[in-house]
Amino acid sequence: MSQYWSPAVRELTPYVPGEQPREQLVKLNTNENPYPPAPGVGQALRDYATDHLRLYPDPTSAALRKALAETFQVADSQVFVGNGSDEVLAFAFQAFFCHSAPLDVPAISYSFYPVYANLYGIELRTHPLDANWEVDIESLGSAPERSGVIFANPNAPTGHAHSLASIEQLLQRVTDRVVLVDEAYVDFGAESAVTLIERYPNLLVTGTFSKSRSLAGLRLGYAVGSEELINGLQRVKDSFNSYPVDSLASVVGIAALNDTEHFETCREYVITTRERTRQRLESLGFEVLPSKANFVLTRHPDHAGAQLFAGLRERGILVRHFNTPELNDFLRITIGTDDEMDSLIEALQVICA
């Protein structure tokens, strides 16, 4: 605590990201993609003329938004881009949820949501997950007074995904406020709600290049929604930072979007490895929540989460352990390459023996 901090800063509880270790570890803790970005990304970097760096980037990121619009079959004016989807989410909280009523959010979800809510003074109304650790989508938005609804699909850190039909039912109920679906992990097996934006002007879908496009180090995220929602995000962006997307990031992002084949191949690998890992964990006695994401949430009836985390860390394998009452028993394990998952299973065999 410092005397120089403003009262608002004293009240913050910042998000704590997963560790980025300096030593060589099998890194299965922050849901990065184990496969490299598309080959076109390297080419785009090599072709980039350094002299471009003299100039500010296009403040509207028109070329990148066009490439995303083509990918999602929407108009350019229905796409917003930012410095990682975390930034896009932060803008969305400010643009749409700063009303006097609470924001509806699943009780267990992406832990940045409460941080943004705290930053902007937004009250949260949390909805417990059901007995299967699934978001109770019917309860979201059910109270008459709310500033909006936000949830991740697939959810983090559970990996469960809702069908498009159940998301549409929610949209039929909540028409007066923004419903934000965070699709950071959608490409690993869930259905995207982008196809619903034409019919629901209050639906905002966010996504990222960090996971299925293997570009977490670049910081690129986006939102797709009606023009009026995109304009709302732009108003916040242009009151904060005119140029959140570097010209280099824009060129690289376009190259990644252009390589559909690489994208499809890598996500198939991740999905196949996830299912293989699930079976192998189950054969060691773990309970594994069904996942449509590039991670699994798992626990063992005889071994505490913290103990498993420490045992893996000693053996050079880093996973994520959340020190909260609900998730204390669990580990969240990112799906790596088959070799990395072999190392994980071998280490768990020893720890659980």
Which distant-in-sequence residues (6+ apart) come within 8 Å of 42 by Cβ? Answer: none
Count of CB atoms situated within 10 Å of the CB of 324: 10
End-to-end CA distance of the chain: 45
Q: Which of 272, 270, 301 is nearest to 284 (CA)?
A: 301
Minimum gap (Å) between residue 15 Cβ and ligand PMP: 9
Minimum gap (Å) between residue 184 Cβ and ligand PMP: 4
Residue 85 engages ligand PMP in binding (rule: CB under 6 A): yes
CA dihedral 92, 97, 31, 63 (to 10 degrees): -10
Residue 79 engages ligand PMP in binding (rule: CB under 6 A): no
Q: Which of 350, 308, 349, 352 is nearest to 329 (CA)?
A: 308
Residue 152 engages ligand PMP in binding (rule: CB under 6 A): yes
Closer CB to ligand PMP, residue 206 or residue 226?
206
Q: Do 242 and 59 form a contact (C-beta atoms < 8 A)? A: yes
Q: Do 116 and 103 form a contact (C-beta atoms < 8 A)? A: no
Minimum gap (Å) between residue 303 Cβ and ligand PMP: 25
Binding mask 94-123 for ligand PMP (x = CB under 6 A): ----------------x-------------
Residue 252 engages ligand PMP in binding (rule: CB under 6 A): no
Cα–Cα distance measured from residue 306 to residue 308, given in angstroms and rounded to the nearest whole number: 6
Tell me how many residues contact ligand PMP (CB under 6 A).
12
121 torsion bin: left (phi>0), alpha (psi -120 to 50), beta (else) = left
Binding mask 169-208 for ligand PMP (x = CB under 6 A): -------------x-x-----------------------x
- Taking CB under 6 A as the criterion, the residue among 33, 94, 153, 210 binding ligand PMP is 210
Residue 336 engages ligand PMP in binding (rule: CB under 6 A): no
Residue 141 engages ligand PMP in binding (rule: CB under 6 A): no
**Residues in contact with ligand PMP by the rule CB under 6 A:** 84-86, 110, 152, 156, 182, 184, 208, 210, 216, 221
